[in-house]
Structure 1
Amino acid sequence: MPETSATTPYAAALLRIAQGVMFLAHGAVLKLGTFGLAGTMGYFASIGYPAALGAVVIAAEILGGLALIAGFATRWVSLALVPLMLGAMLQHTGNGWLFNVPGGGWEYPAFWTVTLLVQAGLGAGAWALDGVRTAARRPAIA
């Protein structure tokens, strides 16, 4: 078994890319493709939030998903997405723990919150623009 330090960058990359794909799918396919911008904004208004927040969440999920896939500003993007998951969790708290109940439970967004915090702690890992930017800033060794 390889040392943990040898596999950590790849594990962080796997987590980052999986999160990015899920956020991209959730924002682009579910919210825009299934419900549309007007439908999503209407839903947000129906649960007591400003309708425009629906558009902000769509943009955050799509742009955040793309940034995570690319490994761009991974720590900051992960932390920026935490409030979205906390908002989703709060929206589902009255439904109970499991997401299979009507209206969905709060365990799924709670788990997402934890994974985003873990990603922020781990950083981008392998195959990330973060690593390219960091390498470009390092002084050359003579």
Structure 2
Amino acid sequence: MLLRIGLAGMWISHGLILKLLTFGVVGLGNWLAAIGLPSALALPLILAETVGGLLILLGIYGRWVSLALLPILLGALLIHAPNGWVFSNPDGGWEYPLFLAVMTLVHALLGDGPLALKAAGATS
């Protein structure tokens, strides 16, 4: 459950606070275009990270949600890889996305833990 809460906090803070409230959809779209990705990915990324984080927090099919969100972290890892190891480097390093990708995979493998509303494979 602690892993689930920590991951949810990371996803919600990145999707809602960083991407939507700090950069905005247009600002995120401009940054995506500047690094060679379609700007149309901005809103889907914000929604995936925010809604995904909420689902993980509540324990609603969290294993599947983590698997679905894993490609976002792998993309972040590729984007930040040229910047070096430490995330405090200019434009961020790759250790933070790697750690989060591993923890997201661990969550997918271990499951939601106690107090999950709807675990994968659970019956109603």
Q: TM-score, normalised by structure 2?
A: 0.94
Q: 2:76 maps to which residue?
A: 88
> Greater shift after overlay, 85-94 or 54-63?
54-63
Following TM superposition, by how much is the alpha carbon of 1:52 offset from its aligned partner in structure 2, in angstroms?
A: 0.9
Indicate the SS of the match to 2:60. coil
Counterpart mapping for 1:1-142 below 5 A: 13-131=1-119, 134-136=122-124
The whole-number CA distance in structure 2 between the counterparts of 1:40 and 1:21 is 20
Following TM superposition, by how much is the alpha carbon of 1:21 offset from its aligned partner in structure 2, in angstroms?
A: 1.5
Indicate the SS of the match to 1:130. coil
Following TM superposition, by how much is the alpha carbon of 1:135 offset from its aligned partner in structure 2, in angstroms?
A: 4.9
Output the aligned Cα RMSD: 1.5
What one-letter code is carried by the residue in structure 2 that aligns with 1:61? E
Indicate the SS of the match to 1:134. coil
Q: Which structure's residues are more often helix, by fraction? A: 1
Following TM superposition, by how much is the alpha carbon of 1:17 offset from its aligned partner in structure 2, in angstroms?
A: 1.3
The whole-number CA distance in structure 2 between the counterparts of 1:55 and 1:66 is 16
CA offsets, 1:55-98, max 9 Å, x none? 21111100110100010111110111110000000001111111
What one-letter code is carried by the residue in structure 1 that aligns with 2:113? G
Structure having the higher Rg: 1
Q: Give percent identity, aligned residues only.
A: 50
Indicate the SS of the match to 2:90. coil
Aligned residues: 124
The whole-number CA distance in structure 2 between the counterparts of 1:54 and 1:37 is 6
